[in-house]
C-alpha cells in the first residue's frame, strides 16, 4: 500500500518570489498574449470594416453578415481551436484565426452602428460641397463613426485578452499557459494567480490606452462638451 503524503510545500496565492524567479518565462507568455491580442484585434478590424460597409449598403446583406458573425461566436472556443488545429497545426496562427473570428461579432456590429449613426443631413451637406463617395467615407463618415468604432475596439480587445487563454489547447495560450500549467502542476497557486492577474491588468491597460487614443482621435467631442 502506498501512502499519499499531504504535507505539501507552502503554496500561497501570492508569491513574489515566483514572479522574480520565473520572470523570463512570464514575460515570454505575456509577450505572446500581447502579440495575439493586438494581431487579432487589428486583423479583426481590417475584416470588420469592409463587412460593415457591405452590410450598410443594403438591409438584404446586413442580415447574413451580422447573422454569420454571431453564429461563429456561438462555436465553443475549445471546439474552434480544435477544428482549426488540424489545418494550421500547433501554432499561434491557429489561435489567431479563432480570435479574429470571435472579434468580428463585436467589431462588425459596432462599426455598422457607427456608420449608420452618421446623420443623413451631414452626408447631404458633404455631397452638396462636392465630396465624392470615397472622400465622403474617409473624411466625413469614418471620423464621425470613430466613437462607436472605438467602443467596439475596446470591447473586442478586452474580450480577446480573456479568450487568448483558451489557446492552451494548442500550447499557445499566452498567460493562459501559466494558469493551466499551475492547475496541472498539483494546483500551484502562484502561476495561476500570476496568469489571471496578468490577464486582468493587461485588459485594463489595453482599455486605458484605447480610451486615450479615442480622446486624441475625437477632439471635437470635448470641444462640444465645454
Q: Judged by CB under 8 A, which of 37, 69, 157, 165 binds other proteins?
A: 165
Q: Is 202 in the site for other proteins (CB under 8 A)?
A: no
Smallest gap from residue 202 Cβ to other proteins (A): 13
Smallest gap from residue 206 Cβ to other proteins (A): 15
**Are 136 and 142 within 8 A, CB to CB?**
no
Would you list the DSSP string of 57-111? H-HHHHHHHHHHHHHHHTS-HHHHHHHHHHHH-SSHHHHHHHHHHHHHHHHHHHH
CA distance 145 to 118: 7
Smallest gap from residue 144 Cβ to other proteins (A): 33
CA distance 12 to 181: 16
CA distance 133 to 127: 8
Site for other proteins in 45-84 (CB under 8 A): 76-78, 82
Q: Judged by CB under 8 A, which of 14, 21, 27, 127 binds other proteins?
A: 21
**Binding residues vs other proteins (CB under 8 A):** 1-6, 8-9, 11, 18, 21-22, 25, 76-78, 82, 85-86, 89-91, 162-163, 165-166, 168-172, 176-177, 179-181, 183-188, 190, 196
Amino acid at each position: 500500500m502506498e501512502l499519499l503524503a499531504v504535507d505539501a510545500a507552502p503554496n500561497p496565492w501570492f508569491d513574489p518570489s515566483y514572479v522574480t524567479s520565473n520572470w523570463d518565462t512570464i514575460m515570454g507568455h505575456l509577450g505572446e498574449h500581447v502579440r495575439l491580442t493586438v494581431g487579432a484585434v487589428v486583423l479583426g478590424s481590417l475584416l470588420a470594416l469592409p463587412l460593415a460597409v457591405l452590410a450598410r449598403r443594403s438591409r438584404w446583406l446586413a442580415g447574413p453578415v451580422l447573422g454569420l458573425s454571431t453564429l461563429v461566436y456561438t462555436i465553443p472556443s475549445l471546439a474552434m481551436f480544435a477544428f482549426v488545429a488540424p489545418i494550421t497545426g500547433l501554432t499561434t496562427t491557429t489561435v489567431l484565426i479563432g480570435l479574429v473570428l470571435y472579434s468580428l461579432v463585436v467589431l462588425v456590429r459596432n462599426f455598422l452602428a457607427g456608420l449608420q449613426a452618421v446623420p443623413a443631413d451631414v452626408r447631404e451637406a458633404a455631397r452638396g460641397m462636392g465630396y465624392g463617395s470615397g472622400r465622403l467615407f474617409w473624411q466625413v463618415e469614418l471620423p464621425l463613426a470613430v466613437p462607436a468604432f472605438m467602443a467596439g475596439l475596446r470591447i473586442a480587445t478586452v474580450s480577446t485578452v480573456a479568450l487568448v487563454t483558451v489557446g492552451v489547447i494548442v500550447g499557445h495560450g499566452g498567460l493562459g499557459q501559466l494558469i493551466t500549467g499551475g492547475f496541472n502542476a498539483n494546483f500551484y497557486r502562484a502561476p495561476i494567480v500570476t496568469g489571471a492577474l496578468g490577464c486582468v491588468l493587461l485588459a485594463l491597460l489595453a482599455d486605458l490606452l484605447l480610451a486615450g487614443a479615442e480622446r486624441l482621435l475625437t477632439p471635437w467631442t470635448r470641444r462640444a462638451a465645454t
